[in-house]
Each structure stands twice: as structure tokens, then as C-alpha cells.
Structure 1
Amino acid sequence: MLEFLNPALFPFLWLAAIPIAIHLLNLTRRRRVQWAAMEFLLESQRKNRAFVWLRQLLLLLLRMAAIAILVLIFARMVFLNDLTLLQGNQTHHMVILDDSFSMSAQDSRSETPFLRAQQAIVRLGQRAADEGGNHRFTLLRTSQTQPDFLEKLVQVNFAQELQQRLEEISVSSLSSGPESALEQALEWLPTQKQDQKILYLVSDFRSKDWEDTQRITALLREFEQEKTKLVLIQCEGAPPANLSLSSLRSVSRTLVADVPLFLEVAVTNFSQDPQTDVELLIYEDNTLRPGSRIDLIPPGETRTKRFQVRIPTAGNHTVRVELPNDSISLDNARETVLQLPLAIKTLLIDSSPDGRNARYVQSALDPGGNTKTGNTTQIELPGFLNSNDLSEFQVIYLTNVGQLDPPAIEQLEDFVKAGGGLGIFLDGQSKAEFINTQLYRNGEGFFPAPLSEPSKTLMDQLQERFPFGITPVLQRRWEELMLAQDENLPDVQRSVHPIFESFAEERNSLLDLVRIDHLWRLDPEWEAGVNNRTTVAAEGRIPEITVFDPNAENPIQWTSRYVPLVLDRPFGDGRVVSVMSSASTVWNNWARNPSYVLMLLEMQSYLAAPTEGTITRQVGQPLVVEWDAAEFFPELDIERFQEGALENSVELAGEAANDEGDRLGVRYDSTFDPGIYSVALRPIDGSERSLKTFAYNVNPTEGNLQTVSSTQLATIMEGITYTFTRAGAFRGSDADGGDIKLYDLLLYWLVILLLLEQTFAYFQSYHPPATAGVEGVS
């Protein structure tokens, strides 16, 4: 049975009549002129008329056939082998349909790869129904674990049923590759060896889905081993331009109501042309506010833009950024949730009655007056930790604390494990034995590292050599000598860490003016690393005398080295940051330096437990919630909002989350659409509902519309037998490979016809003999 893959070009066969039209036009333009000498030629023509007419007719037919064949080549004529689909006991058609949201990319004609995929699958179903015989049909989408059809018997009206089902489904919001669907299809693969099995992978074949080629090709080889024919159907042409909102995050680590917050949005240009004047629409709690603009985004690159918001009230708030419409709409919007408390409540512990050390910290975090930092502080003695509830605080600082009672240690450990932040400043009141045995405990406690002893100044080291003291004159002389050897290195050397991020771009950092007289040195056998999860955020310089000879011309030689000054360690769900020097000016002059305030504010932001809503979540990730069974009812409500409108709501019953049964939990897997998911718990005491809010966004890399070429696919599929075709050219018969592509053969026939036409035209035309030279001409 003949069929055309480009049937729209078939009507152009009338172009084969052009040679006849040209021949008739040439006849009408001739003018008869009587000439006596022509009578001899006309007589010769009458004798050879039949032969000349035959050659002219053949030439005309050759020209008409060449035009007709050219049209048939462009119409892509094929001969459908109707017998191959009837081979075997049954024919199983297994179709994997890519429904990731890149399949929704619209081209200039507003057509999408998903539409082309639907049309190709319908043609396959129609072909199977028209052929008759025993056909089974399985349809599985890459975003689903259950098929739309599973070994469904193909009957006469199957094509209509298939089309209706395909019209009911749409592109998902997920970024799902073919691996999981291929694994599912392998499980459903029929085991009868006599059956014919054909797997159709219908996709846009985006490059990102074929990065892990080893896993995909291993699965396809398993199909090949099961005698399954592979048909790859690509549904995309040239990739259209697309902009994607790749991230939206808070760059202000202190998230507090009525304090300016900075957010950063990133936009990626997934196209081959630069994009200019990209407008950003910004919504706060679904209210449009003044937007922003990105001047230029080069092709294939990402540009960021920061903007400021100030939300006056505490609670859960949403910020949404949108891009203008382009080829894909799903990646043009991104949301985040800001869970803003009235303030970050901070507890300062100081063993001195006047709280001198704690007040240095308080003056930086909570200066009062018109200056709003989002922090409130409370100074207490160490005994406060023994029995008071610490859960109302987000951050606790220990300053000038030499000893803690066992209940206080246990409370602090529980506080940090639950997500709280703990800052520790050490000074002369600190005791190495207590910290090592009670707070560090061989790495099981919350303190980051074991201590050795405090560092000593150069004069302290000299005085140890003279137990009876040093005369003032000699002390001044030696101080001058030591000062002359100073290399003018900074006493504080920062590392790449969030606490010191604000100092990273300073050329002449204020930290260079900080002087550290004393700091606690660590046990020399201890080393920061992956095993103890402790990192060094900053180092402090300590001096060491290398040569001392009072009788020499230069009696003192010394050098310096850097040792850990600020340590950071995660503990449970919280963090512990320890500064090896004092919070006051006893061991350093840091508290008199402006960098002290900035460092403490960054340290406070780092220690404050991140709220759940600021964590980036992608659609498809499960939503897991746990709660105290004694405080809340076992049921909860989950609601999804899109642009402020309620889309759907579900009530779920909690299940035991631990062996004791005092905590309940729910795992909600139906997070397939972007938006704001609100979880509401009802307290048993009848108070107001407790709300937790989560922002779910699409995977921005799915907006990269770059596809795998047929050449790249051939390299990836090396050693695997498969058929590759475009969705527009697929007619449901490419699977068996028995169809004859006549347009390839016609190309050779066209070349032969053109050679014959030129040969006939040469012999049919008149060619005068070559002219001989004239004799006698010199």
C-alpha cells in the first residue's frame, strides 16, 4: 500500500504538465513563411515524421517524469508492508510518552512537541486498528507510575478511544527522564517468545535527559535482549527561545518582620540569542509591587538581580517573581515563602554579676533606639539554663562562662539538636578540663574541638624566663626589638565562611586592625576535617620566641603562626560557633573595632535556625510533616494555592512517627504542581490553627530546550538496533522496519532520467558541423 509522509505536497503532481504547456506555447508562436528552398526539407520531414515524432514524445515524457519524480521525493512516498504487523501470535505496542514540561514549548505556529507526540501515537493506534489481527497496546507517561493503558486489546474503535484519552491528559510540571518509565515497561514486557514486541519512546530528546547515557542504554539493551524492536520518535524541531527563572532566594539571613530583606532572583537564557530589557514582575502576598529589570542576558548564561522587600507583619508571607510569556510558561514564575517572626529572641549567658562580656554582644545585636536589627536579647546567669524552657530562643551565647551544671549541659544539647544556634566566647574564666570532658566529650558533645592552653604574648613568654621580673628599661628595649621584627601581618585571617562573607571584597579590611592578645589553642593532636564535621571559619596569629640570648647583639628572635580562632560545627539540626577569644576587650581589641558589630550580626544570622519555608523544594518531592500527638489532633489539612487562589484541599490522618507513638507524621506525595502548600494542624486545646507553609517550584533545568541530534543519538546508541524518526513523518509503520522508503529509490531514478533527458535532447537538436579554415589566407 502506497502512502506519503508529506501528503500536502502530493497535489503538486500537476507540475508534471508544465513541459506540455511549454510545448503548446512554442507551437502558437511559430509564423509560416513561404520559401522555395524549404520544399526539399519538408519532403524529407514527411518521410521521417514518425521517427522524429517518437523522439520528441519520449523527450516530453522524460521531462514530465522528472518533474513528477521530484514531487514524489519531496512528498516522501513509501510502500507500507502490511504483513509485518501481523507476524507472530500477538503484537505488543508499548508506548512511553514524555510528558515533562519541556514538551509544552510552543514554536512560531503555536504547536508543541506534546501535540506532535499525541498525533503520532493516534496514528499508531489507527494503523494497528486498521490492520486487524491481535494487537495489544500499553501507554505509559514518564511522570506516572501507573499506565493509561496496559496491554489493552486493539479493536475497531480503539483509535477514537486512544485519542480521547490523550486529549484528557496534559503536560506535567515535572522534569522526568525516561529511566523510570523504561524500568516499569521492562516489568510489564510480555514473556511469550513468539510475540512481536515494539517499544516506542516518544520524546523531545532534550540533551539534559541523555546526560546519564549509561543507564538509558543499559535499559534499552535489556529490551533488545528480549527481542523488542526499538522506535525512537522525536517530537521537536529547532528549539525556540526560552527564559527560565532558575532561582529565588533570600540573601538576608536574618528574616524578621519590619526589617528590610534582600532577595535575589536568577534568570537563565536558554536560547541562541541575547535577551535584553527582561522585565521582572514582583508580587508580595499576591500584591503587585514595583518591579525590576535585567538589561542583558547573553545566550546560555544566567544573570541575577537583587531587590528589597520590607514586610511589616510577622507570619507566613509569599514573594513571587514572574517573567513575560515565552515558549514555556511553567518556568516563568517562581515563589518563596518567608516565615517572619517579630524578632530573633537571643539569650546571653554571663557568669559575672554585671554581665560585662554579654553587654558587648548585646550592644552589637540589640543596640536599641531607632536602630532595628530584628534581634531581642536577654542577659542571664548560668543557673538560668538549669530549669528554664529554652525553646523560646533561637540563639544562645555563652560569654565568660567557666562552669555549667549537668542539667544546663543537657538542656543546651537538646536545644542545639532541635535546631537552635549556640555561640561560645572563651576567655580566662574558661577551663580546658571542663570543656574537654563535659562539653566536647571526644566529639560526642556540642563543643567543636578539644582545648590545650591559652596563647601567650611575647612579653609573657619572656617573663617566664625571668621569674623575678624584668626591669622597665630592659622591657622597653626588648619591646622595641620585637616590634622591629613584626611583619605587620593581620592578627585575624578569615576563611571562606558565611560569617566573614561581608569582608570578602574589602581591600583594606577592618579586620586588619584587630589585635588578638590571647586565644585558646587547640589540642595539637586534633585536626579539623570531614570526620568531626568541624570547619575553621577564621584563624588568629600567635607569636613564638625562637631565639633568646640576652648577651647577643640581637637577643630576641621571634616568629608567628596562625591557629584556629573561630570554629563552626553542626550538631543535630543546629549549629555551634566557638570563638577562641573573649567577647569583651580583655583578650583583644575586637569589641572596639567596627568589624565586631558586623561579624556578630553575620554570626547571629548564621546561627539563627533557618525556617522551613526558606528551603527550596521542587515539584514531585514528598511533603513530610511531623507533630506532637499530645498537642494536636491526628488529622491535618493540606491546601495548595496558585497565585493566591485555592486549587485543592485534602485531609489526611497521621500515623505513628516513632516507636513510642508520641509523635505523628504524614507523607504527602501528590506535590506534582507548583504553588504554595499550606499545612494546617488543629491544637487539642482549641487555640488557633498552626500553619506551616511550603513553596514548590518546577525544575528550572527542564527549560533548557537543547536537543540531542540524530548523530549524537547514533553515538549514544552504538551497538543497539533501533529506528529513529520524526513525529511528523511517523505513520505507525516505522516499527517493523519492513516498509520500503520509495523516495530514496526515486532519487536514483531521477538522476537516470535527467541523464537520459539530456542525451535525447542532444540528439534531437541541430548541431552544425565544425567550420574548416580558408585556404590561401596568410
Structure 2
Amino acid sequence: MQFLFPTLTIGFALLAVPFLVHLINVLRQRRRQWAAMDFLLASYRKQRKWIWLRQLLLLLMRTAVVAVLVAMLAGWAGRAGWLDALGGQTNHHIVLLDDSLSMSDQSGGGSAYRRALSALESLGKRLATADGTHQLTVIRTSRAQLVVGAGSKAGDAAADLSAQTVGAENRALDRLMATAPSSLAGGMEQAVELAAGLAEATSSDRTVLYVLSDLRQHDWESPERINASLQELSKSGTEIRMVDCASVPAANLAITQLQPVEDVWVAGVPVMVEAKVRNYGTEIATNVTLDAKLIRYGREVGTPRTDQLYSGPTAALPAMVFEKIEPGKEATKRFQVYVAEPGTHGLTISIPEDILTADNSRSCTLPLIDQQKVLIVDGDVEGRGAYFVASVLNPGGQVRTGAIPEVRPVSFLNSVRSDELAQYRVVYLLNLPRIEDSVARVLNDYVNDGGGLALFLGDATDRENYNRLIAKYPGLLPGTLNAAKDLPLPSDSETPDLLPDNSHPIVEPLAAAGEGAFGLVRVLRSLSLETDRDLALGVRTVIRRRDDAPFVVEHRLGRGRIVTALTDLGNTWTNWTGDPTFVVFLLRTNAFLWSTANPATSRLVSQPLTMVMGNESYGRSVDLIGAATAPPRLSIQLQAEPDAENQDLEVEVSPSAAAIDRSVDVTTLLQPGIFEWWLTRLDGSREVRPVASVIPDGEGDLRRAVRSEIDRALRPTMVTFFDAGQMASASESESGGRTGILLALLAAMMVGEQVLGYFGSYHPPLRAKA
């Protein structure tokens, strides 16, 4: 016999009490010689067997009452087919298995996910040996998140087991024991939602919901959406049990960001890369080493290597050290990466392993192109402004900025087509008197498609013409241009004429010099600007005058950016072009506008993997080699399909779709690291395009939620909390169902004991009233 509370089984010693009471009553009888008693004894001998039977039944009934009471209090969990038959109920056990990234936490020895699997295994073993009908449903939160993300509400599509009758052999449960935490965050909301639908669709007399989770603060501090589905389950009579699978977390460091800084990403030009590490622990982390590795995917890489982590050759970069990272703070390191060959290369960084290894490494790509042209159109017939811009962007010698300046007359701009303008990465318009409607339309489309536009407006600018463009092409200008405004003489000689917003990326390199960066720049006047109300939230002042009037502003338009300087590049209004800060400003402006067309350097593991290629150069056969922590890597063969216009070939692999149709292993798609697209050219040669997949931020925060706060947030839903080690007690199906049966049986026995007690003793008949 098995009991949920074995210590209470000592109460079975009370079974001796009815026997002791009976023996004591027998010993208290005394013999007396009395003629009437002889008659009674003769009657007793005649009725002795019936009297003994009644006394025996009474004694057994009293003993059974005590036994049932003790069994009920101790939580009887043993085999009792007759009791299950008496109950006649089907038990449905729904297990929500949290397999989010934070379940990889190794604090306390062993991962939280492994403790959850052990608890699930104990449930399966107990149900397999229990009498009665028991159905088991298991839903992993990662599968629920992907299935709901694909637009499906079918719980069966996300469930590893769906209302499966538990038997002696359960191979599906054995397969679950071999799984590992995913690289996703959250998913509990979607899992509870699917569980509510399954509970409603499955016919059962009793439903128990088990939530096996690590109860992290970032998941459970605002459980309103989860509680909505839990309340539906609770109203339908479902018992809800929270099983805590985590322990007190140890210190954890996580790499939260790795990406190239917005700049001109050109081969042969050093690229600045930014890495961030957050300390999720409660103590200061010191001397944290950051290792970096470059993977080159040049033209010489023509064969996929699944027996290695990367098909391209790798090179270690100089290690860096974070001397100190405060608790709860983030530290940043910037380092340069130089690659001479164009192409999309890979970059990985790592820190020493700790209790959560998944966030100790991160990857990104470096998409480097050849130098590209920038267009310069100057309204000055002498071309002085164009000379300044072209000299900065192409200084000559060994210095490379990635830009090839191309100076064109105004007539070229007036006749340019959209496809011609798209060849230029950035367009500079310097003090143009007018912009025709046809040119404004081409410029508007160019910027919306991701181009960069720099406007320098001066004394030759026809403000009426420019302001008229706002009505036709909103967003091409940051606002209404007003007359030029003189800058009054300074009351304080130490205040410079220009003040930068040091937080803006264009002037960020000048932040160290503070307000004195423009100390030698003199401004006599500049155009005034009235910001358009519809664009007020998008317009940002980069440099302002001493009187707080804007001098340089920037704003977005579609996928592109526009920088507007309210001065020309002559020496009439300002001497800025002769100051070193102008060189820094122009280079940073070029990088700022250039970067709008830069491709993404990473994707979240939950997002689709897509590839687009021209059908005039590539065949339809495509191989996708997945990321891995160790070789060999899995290769997936795919077929690209033409797009609607039949111009490009497209192929997409979505983790959400794979979770439903199970055509591709979802675990492979959710692996962070470097994926490799291998394309086949029409001449039979191979081309590789790497893609970096990264985990979501925040899962490294292992702070625990307080059970009492979760319980308060989930009210009025009734939730019972257990530790993973108590799963055997929490999961016992029979005890909950048998408690009501035992209670009813106990009540019936007590009534029977009173009836037997009445007939087993002497009660004189009531005399009729006169």
C-alpha cells in the first residue's frame, strides 16, 4: 500500500481500540445466582449465534470506520481496483513543460529543465502503475509559442503527447526525456491558452494541470494574460498545480549584443564592432575575458564542410578584458575588424562559461561590399561646396572611406531616372536654388527605398519652391523654411556659436571635447526652420546654434534618412568648412546616411530564415547548413520558388511552420550561431551566404518570482505550489479522486455503525400513552 503522507499511517494503530473496548466490556461482567438469569441464559444460548454475529458486525464496522478515516487522512495511493470502479472516473493530466532558455540554469547542480523532466518521469511512472484510466498531455512552451505564432490554435499540433492513455510502456514520454531546453524566451501564455482548449475538447471526469517552470521574475511579474486562461480552467473544475523546478540562482554573465557600428561597411575599411556584456548577478564581476573569432567567407570558400563548425577559415582576434562589471549593469567594448575581401563574413565572441552557457556566446555577420558611388550636385557654378565634400570623402593616397564621389551638374539631376539614382549610396544636394517636381518625386522614392540624402541650404535657396514641395511630398523636408536669421553677438565670449547633441551618432566622436568642440567655428546667420507638426517626433537636432535655433537636423523618411544643414558650404555665412570638425561631421554624416541600406547582421532564432537570389544566375537547389555547438552539422536540402513577378527565386524556412508540419527539425532551426546558405550558380559553382542567429535578450536574468506574489497576481484562481521533488505527491491522481469516495464511504459506515449499535443493544419498547 502507498500513501501520500506515510507518517500519518501510524493512525492504523487505532484499529485496536474497538477490540480493547469490547474486551473491557466483557471483563466487567460478573456472575450472580438468580433464577431469572437462568431463563435469560437459556434464551441467550438459543439466540447466541445471532447475537455474536451482530456483535462481530458492529466490531468490524467500527474497525473499518477507523481504517477508512486514517487512509483518507494519509492520502491512500495504493492499488484498489474496486475503489476506482466505484469512482468510475477518467483522469486527464495536462503538463505544461517550460523549456525556455532560462531552464538551462545549472544552479544547485543539474539544470532546472532536467529537474522538470525528472518530475515528469515520476508522474508517468506513478500513473502507469495506478488503476483506472489516466490520460496524459504534454506541451512544451517552445512548441506552443511557435504554433500560436503560426496562427494555429490547435493544441494537438504543439503537444508531444495529446490525451494519450498511460500504459506500462510509454515511448513518447521516453523521447521527451532526451530533449533539451530551447533557445526561445517565454511561451507560457500560449501554452496555457492551448491547454485550456485541450481541456475543454477532451472528455474526462477530472482534469489536473501541472505547470513545470522555473518561475522567473521576468515571466511571472505580470501574468495577466496567463491568468485569463487559468481562470477558464479553474472555473471548469481543473486543479492547477505549479511545480517549481529551479533553485536559488548563482551569478550569471550574458552577452546581450554584438553588432557592427552603423558605418560604411566596405572591404578594406576597418569596421567598428560593439559588444555588450550584462552582469545579472548580485556581485561585481572582475577581469572578464572576451574572446573573438572571425570566420572568412571569401571567394575561395566553395565547398560546404559539415564536419566542421564553419566552412570558412577562422582567425582568432586579440582578446579583450572587462575589468569590472557592476551588478545589474552592462559593460561595452568596441573593437575594430579589418577584412580586405568583399563578402559576408562571420564573427563570434564568447566569455567564460557559467551557470547558463547559452548566453555566453553570440554571433553576427559582417556584410562588406566594394566601394560605392555617392552623387554630389552643387548649385554653385564654381563648385566650391562640391570640392569640399569630394575632398573629404576621397582624400586620396592610402586612405579609403568606401565612397567614390561623383560630381554632376544640376542638369543631370533634372533628368535623372529612379534606376539611375539608385546606383548611388548617398546623394548630396548643395545649395540648389530650386528642386523641380519631377526631381522631388525621384528623390522621395529614392529615400523611401533606403537611400540617404544630405541637403545643404544657403543664400541661393528658393524657400517658396522648397516649402511648396512639403505639400506634395511630405517628409522630404523636416519643416517649413523661413528667412535667414542672424546669430546675435554672444554675451559670454566662452560660449561657442554651435553646440552639438553629443548623443547623436553623427557628432558622437566629438563628445569628448564637449561644447568646446566647435570653439573655432563662427556663424553669422543661417536659415530658420519651423518643424512640421506631423514630423515633430521624427526630427532630431544634431547641431544647434547658441540661441537654440537648429543648425543641422535629421529625420527619417520610409527606410531612408535625410540630414538637412541650414547653411551652405561657402564662406559667406560660416567658416565651418575650414574647421577640422567639418571633416568629422561629413564623414559621420556619410556613414549615417550610408548605413540605412546596410543589411541586418543577425536574426532572432524564432524568425524565419529567408533567401532571395536572381533566377538568371542561380539554380533552384539550395542547401541550408544549420548552426551547431559541435560538428557534424545538419544539412537541409530545399527548393527555391520564383516570386510573383518571376524575377527572383525565394526560399524560406520558418520555425513556426516547421513546428506544425514537422518537415524540418525545429531544434536545428532554433540553434543560435552561424547558419550557411549554399547556393548553386548556373555554371555549377557554389556560393555561401552566412546568417547569424541569436537568442533573445533577458533570458539571462535568473531572478526568482516570489510564490506569494504569483499567488496574489493569479487570484481568484486557486493554485497549489510544489517543488520538483514533491512532484510524486503533487501528481498522485488517485488520492484526489478517492478522497471524495472515501469520505462518502466513511459517512455510510458511520450510519451503519449506529444502526448496528442500536440493534445490538437492549432497548425496551416504548409504552403507548394512555
Instruction: Provide the TM-score with structure 2 as the length reference.
Output: 0.74
1:44-77 residue CA offsets vs partner (Å, 9 max, x unmatched): xxxxxxxxxxxxxxxxxxxxxxxxxxxxxxxxx9
Q: Is the 8 A contact 2:294 2:346 kept in 1?
A: yes
Q: Is the 8 A contact 2:262 2:592 kept in 1?
A: no
Match of 1:364 among 392, 412, 429: 392
What is the match of residue 719 of structure 1? Answer: 716
Instruction: Give the drift of 1:705.
Output: 1.9
Residues 739, 147 of structure 1: alpha-carbon distance in 2 compared, 3 angstrom cutoff: closer
Q: Does the Cα contact within 8 Å between 1:641 and 1:648 map onto a contact in 2? A: no
C-alpha displacement of 1:513: 2.6
| Corresponding position: 1:186 with 2:196 | yes
Q: Deviations over 1:516-560 (max 9, x none)?
A: 2232223x5x4456567333322235xxxxxxxxxxxxxxxxxxx
Cα contact 1:89–1:194 (8 A) shared by 2: yes
1:491 to 494, 497, 508: 497
Q: Counterpart of 1:705?
A: 702
* Superimposed CA distance per residue, residues 183-204 of structure 1 (whole angstroms, 9 cap, x where no aligned partner): 1112212357762111111111
- Paired residue secondary structure (1:255): coil
Give the residue type in structure 2 aligned to 1:704.
D
The corresponding residue for 1:101 is 101
Indicate if the aligned counterparts of 2:270 and 2:336 stay in contact, CA closer than 8 A.
Answer: yes
Alignment partner, residue 676 of structure 1: 674
- Any idea what SS the aligned residue of 1:716 has? helix
- Structure 1 652/540 Cα, relative in aligned 2: closer, same or farther at 3 Å? farther
Residue 579 (structure 1) aligned to one of 557, 565, 569: 565
From 363, 369, 393, the equivalent of 1:335 is 363
Q: Distance in 2 between matches of 1:183 and 1:88?
A: 29
Deviation at 1:709, TM superposition (A): 3.1
Alignment partners' CA distance in 1, 2:622 and 2:461: 48
Q: Does 1:247 align with 2:257?
A: yes
- Counterpart of 1:80? 77
Q: 1:562 to 1:705 in 2, by over 3 A?
A: closer
Unaligned stretches of 5+ residues in structure 1:
8-76, 459-482, 542-560, 741-778
Contact 1:80–1:739 (Cα < 8 Å) also in 2: no
Q: Judging changes above 3 Å, is the alpha-carbon distance between structure 1 residues 491 and 442 closer, same or farther for their aligned structure 2 residues?
A: farther
3-state SS of paired residue (1:199): strand
Q: Which residue of 2 aligns with 1:556?
A: none
1:681-735 C-alpha deviation (Å, 9 max, x unpaired): 6677x69877654321112421222222333333233322122111112116546
Deviates more, 1:352-361 or 1:81-90: 81-90
* 1:321 paired to 2:326: no
Q: Quick one: distance in 2 between partners of 1:683 and 1:240?
A: 51
| Equivalent residue, structure 2, for 1:602 | 588
Say yes or no: does 1:290 pair with 2:318: yes
Q: Distance in 2 between matches of 1:92 and 1:258?
A: 64
SS of the residue 1:200 aligns to:
strand
Cα separation, 1, equivalents of 2:492 and 2:108: 71
Report the AA paired with residue 343 of structure 2.
G
Q: 2:244 aligns with which of 207, 211, 234?
A: 234
Q: Distance in 2 between matches of 1:680 and 1:349?
A: 41
Q: Which amino acid aligns with 1:256?
A: V
CA gap of 1:85–1:292, structure 2 versus 1, over 3 A, is: farther
Aligned to 2:164: 152
Pair 1:648-2:635 in alignment? yes
- 1:338 is matched by which residue type in structure 2? L
Match of 1:429 in 2: 460
Instruction: Tell me: CA distance 1:90–1:204, structure 2 relative to 1, closer, same or farther (3 Å).
Output: same
Match status 1:448 vs 2:455:
no
Question: Aligned partners of 2:450, 2:483: CA distance in 1, in Å?
Answer: 31
Corresponding residue number in structure 2 for 1:53: none
1:429 aligned counterpart, secondary structure: coil
Q: Hey, what's the Cα distance between the residues in 2 that align with 1:737 and 1:535?
A: 67
Distance in 1, Cα, partners of 2:598 & 2:6: 55
Aligned counterpart, 1:19 = none
Is the Cα contact below 8 Å between 2:78 and 2:130 reproduced in 1?
no
Q: What whole-Å deviation, never above 9, does each CA across 1:596-623 have from its counterpart, x for those lacking one?
A: 1111111111101346554442211223
- Matched residue, 2:541: 536
Q: Are 2:447 and 2:557, in contact at CA under 8 Å, matched by a contact in 1?
A: yes
**2:433 is equivalent to residue 402 of structure 1:** yes
1:306-329 superposed Cα distances (whole Å, 9 cap, x missing partner): 222222222111111012222222
Q: CA 1:444 to 1:688, structure 2 compared with 1: closer, same or farther past 3 Å?
A: farther
List aligned pairs for 1:457-496, cutoff 5 A. 489-495=495-501, 496=503
How many Å separate the matches in 2 of 1:673 and 1:590? 51
CA 1:331–1:432: 2 relative to 1, 3 Å = same
Q: How many Å apart are 1:80 and its aligned residue?
A: 3.1
Q: Work out whether residues 4 and 78 of structure 1, in 8 Å CA contact, stay in contact via their aligned partners in 2.
A: yes
Deviations 1:403-457, CA, capped at 9 Å, x for gaps: 345554343233222211111111222211222224x335535222222222357
Secondary structure, aligned partner of 1:703: coil
Q: d(CA) in 2 for partners of 1:349 and 1:596?
A: 19
Name the CA distance, whole Å, in 1 between partners of 2:391 and 2:548.
29
CA contact (8 A) 2:444 2:473 kept: no
CA contact (8 A) 1:423 1:576 kept: yes
C-alpha spacing 1:94/1:511, structure 2 compared with 1 (3 Å): same
1:335 is displaced (CA, Å) by: 0.7
Q: Partners of 2:317 and 2:173 in 1: how far apart?
A: 44
Distance in 2 (CA, whole Å) between partners of 1:737 and 1:565 is: 77
Q: TM-score, normalised by structure 1?
A: 0.73
Aligned-CA RMSD value: 3.4
Counterpart residue type for residue 566 of structure 1:
V
Q: Secondary structure at the match of 1:137?
A: strand
- State the AA in 1 paired with 2:500: R
Q: Distance in 1 between matches of 2:248 and 2:575?
A: 64
Q: State the distance in 2 between where 1:6 and 1:251 align.
A: 64
Whether the 8 Å contact between 1:173 and 1:673 is mirrored in structure 2 is yes
Structure 2 unaligned blocks of 5 or more: 8-73, 148-157, 296-313, 656-668, 738-770
Give 1:116's aligned residue: 115
Shift of 1:169: 2.0
Aligned pairs (5 A) from 1:129-208 = 129-144=128-143, 145=147, 146-158=158-170, 161-191=171-201, 195-208=205-218
The range that moved more, 568-577 or 498-507, is: 498-507
Contact persistence 1:366–1:377 (CA under 8 A): yes
Kept after mapping to 2: 8 A contact 1:421/1:608: yes
In percent, how many aligned pairs have the same letter? 28
Amino acid at match of 2:239: K
User: 2:728 — aligned with what?
Assistant: 731
Find the aligned partners of 1:447 and 1:632 in 2 and give their Cα distance.
41
Distance 1:387 1:623 in 2: 36
Query: How big is the shift at 1:208?
Result: 1.3
Q: Which residue of 1 aligns with 2:283?
A: 273
- 1:233 shift after superposition: 0.9
Partners of 2:440 and 2:84 in 1: CA distance: 76
Q: Report which stretch shifted further, 187-196 or 512-521.
A: 187-196
Q: Partner amino acid for 1:493?
A: L
Q: Which moved more, 1:588-597 or 1:282-291?
A: 282-291
Report the residue type matching 1:127 in the other structure. Answer: R
Cα 1:661/1:260, change in 2 over 3 Å: closer
1:32 — aligned with what? none
Are the aligned partners of 2:264 and 2:595 in contact in 1 as well (CA < 8 Å)? no
CA distance in 2, matches of 1:236, 1:381: 69
Which range moved further: 175-184 or 606-615?
606-615
